């Protein structure tokens, strides 16, 4: 059994006993899944039928969440990295842990880059993207240094505003007369192939497969027995919001403009014009996107920090600021421009990173854990027969 005496170095017990409530878990899941998905849009390859692809992805996403919960619940109280030690022993677990640390921090870099591109190109064009990335990373580092509870409370406080702003945006879009419901017709006009192409693997691994980061959060949730119910509820609500947001984008922009736009949700908001008075409500959409990016980037960074904590046996807070600086730097260095960043995320990352690390290795881990538990249960029976 892994000894946790290293946690007591230099920091009191009270500061390190972290727990988040079920309501905080719910809001974290909602904002995490919206995150960069609502910034760049998902399922656009299916054109007018993107909403069908997202609806199918929600069902698969519920199954993915169920899989991660089943994995973590096999050995209660252990997070993903500790579970790897249980299944593979520490030397091999260290190698896998370092791999996942790099993976989680790389995803944090991609999320920060999405936010930087959004702000630099659409909101603050005169501000260098480096400054934007550094600012958001410093904020994430400060939140995580204070602890996961602070991130949970932040998400819990601001999530009601997200629902309010999305509702207001919907009212304004329809009131301005820019929403045309006929844009979603014909349904399945090009058949099922575009829907399936958009669904696999892109919509499965992004954003739902990224829920693997919550294997580091679920073990610290109070009332763990209700965790599955709340997790599935969070995935369902977030999926419904993504579906609704895509519906708004299609009826406002049309399928062709949707595919051409780098930030379709922002483009939709800019269509609002009521009496030449109510216009430019970009701030509503930027708030929704900023909250999602902050939560998603912080969750990925937290997952990476927990991997460093497990590897070096030091409290993860020691690494929060250095890791934030690394994420800030590499969010700029990972791609030359937004086109390159987008192409890399669609063509390379799903196949070479997401599929093996979201489903391949966790499946092997689950098999190893089940085999170990079965072996331990069988031992008392054998001794009993000898007696």
Q: Does the pLDDT of residue 338 top 50, yes or no? A: yes
φ, ψ of residue 237 to 5 degrees: the values are -65, -45
Tell me how far apart the alpha carbons of residues 27 and 325 are, in angstroms, rounded to a whole number.
Answer: 27
pLDDT (0 to 100) of residue 16 = 55
Share of the chain above pLDDT 90, in %: 60
Q: Does the pLDDT of residue 387 top 60, yes or no? A: no
Q: Residue 77's pLDDT band (boundaries 50, 70, 90)?
A: confident
Q: Does the pLDDT of residue 383 top 50, yes or no? A: no
Q: Does the pLDDT of residue 32 top 70, yes or no? A: yes
pLDDT (0 to 100) of residue 5 = 40
Q: How many CA atoms lie within 13 Å of 52's alpha carbon, on the beta-carbon side?
A: 19
Which has the minimum average pLDDT: 180-189, 222-231, 298-307? Answer: 180-189
Q: Residue 96's pLDDT band (boundaries 50, 70, 90)?
A: very high
pLDDT (0 to 100) of residue 17 = 59
Across the range 104-113, mean pLDDT stands at: 96
Closest C-alpha to 79, from 108, 104, 58: 104
Burial class of residue 4 (count of CB atoms within 10 Å of its CB; 0-12, 13-18, 19+) = exposed
Which has the minimum average pLDDT: 48-57, 118-127, 316-325? Answer: 118-127
Q: Residue 214's pLDDT band (boundaries 50, 70, 90)?
A: very high
Across the range 89-117, mean pLDDT stands at: 95
Q: Does the pLDDT of residue 365 top 70, yes or no? A: yes
Q: Residue 3's pLDDT band (boundaries 50, 70, 90)?
A: very low
Q: Does the pLDDT of residue 109 top 50, yes or no? A: yes
pLDDT (0 to 100) of residue 380 = 60
pLDDT tens for residues 195-206?
Answer: 998 898 889 999
φ, ψ of residue 223 to 5 degrees: the values are 55, 55
pLDDT tens for residues 242-284?
Answer: 999 999 999 998 888 888 888 888 888 888 877 777 777 788 8
Q: How high is the mean pLDDT of the chain?
A: 88
Higher pLDDT, 1 or 163: 163
Sequence-separated (6 or more) residues with CB below 8 Å from residue 138: 324, 328
Tell me how far apart the alpha carbons of residues 84 and 128 are, in angstroms, rounded to a whole number.
Answer: 41
Supply the pTM of this predicted model: 0.92
Across the range 72-98, mean pLDDT stands at: 93
pLDDT (0 to 100) of residue 6 = 40
Tell me how far apart the alpha carbons of residues 366 and 361 are, in angstroms, rounded to a whole number.
Answer: 9
pLDDT (0 to 100) of residue 239 = 95
Tell me how far apart the alpha carbons of residues 339 and 125 are, in angstroms, rounded to a whole number.
Answer: 17
pLDDT (0 to 100) of residue 243 = 93
Q: Residue 46's pLDDT band (boundaries 50, 70, 90)?
A: confident
């Amino acid at each position: 059994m892994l000894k946790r005496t290293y946690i007591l170095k230099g920091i009191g017990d009270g500061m390190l006993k972290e727990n988040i409530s079920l309501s905080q878990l719910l809001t974290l899941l909602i904002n995490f899944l919206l995150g960069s998905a609502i910034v760049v849009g998902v399922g656009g390859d299916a054109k007018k039928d993107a909403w069908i692809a997202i609806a199918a992805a929600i069902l698969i996403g519920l199954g993915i969440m169920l899989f991660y919960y089943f994995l973590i619940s096999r050995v209660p109280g252990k997070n993903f990295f500790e579970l790897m030690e249980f299944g593979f022993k520490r030397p091999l677990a260290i190698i896998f842990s370092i791999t996942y640390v790099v993976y989680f921090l790389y995803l944090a870099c991609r999320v920060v880059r999405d936010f930087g591109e959004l702000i630099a190109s659409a909101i603050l064009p005169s501000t260098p993207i480096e400054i934007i990335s550094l600012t958001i990373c410093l904020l994430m580092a400060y939140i995580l240094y204070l602890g996961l509870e602070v991130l949970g409370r932040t998400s819990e406080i601001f999530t009601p505003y997200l629902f309010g702003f999305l509702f207001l945006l919907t009212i304004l879009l329809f009131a301005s007369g820019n929403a045309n419901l006929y844009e979603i017709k014909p349904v399945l006009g090009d058949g099922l192939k575009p829907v399936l192409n958009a669904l696999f693997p892109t919509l499965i691994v992004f954003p739902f497969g990224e829920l693997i980061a919550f294997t580091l959060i679920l073990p610290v949730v109070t009332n763990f027995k209700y965790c599955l119910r709340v997790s599935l509820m969070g995935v369902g609500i977030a999926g419904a919001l993504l579906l609704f947001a895509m519906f708004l984008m299609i009826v406002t922009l049309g399928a062709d403009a949707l595919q051409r736009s780098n930030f379709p949700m922002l483009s939709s908001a800019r269509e609002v014009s009521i009496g030449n008075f109510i216009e430019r409500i970009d701030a509503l959409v930027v708030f929704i996107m900023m909250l999602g990016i902050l939560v998603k980037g912080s969750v990925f960074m937290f997952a990476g920090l927990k991997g460093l904590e497990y590897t070096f046996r030091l409290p993860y807070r020691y690494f929060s600021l250095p890791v934030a600086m690394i994420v800030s730097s590499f969010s700029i260095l990972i791609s030359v421009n937004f086109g390159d960043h987008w192409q890399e995320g669609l063509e390379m990352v799903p196949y070479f990173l997401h599929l093996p690390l979201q489903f391949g290795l966790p499946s092997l881990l689950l098999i190893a854990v089940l085999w170990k538990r079965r072996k331990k249960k069988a031992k008392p029976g054998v001794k009993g027969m000898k007696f």
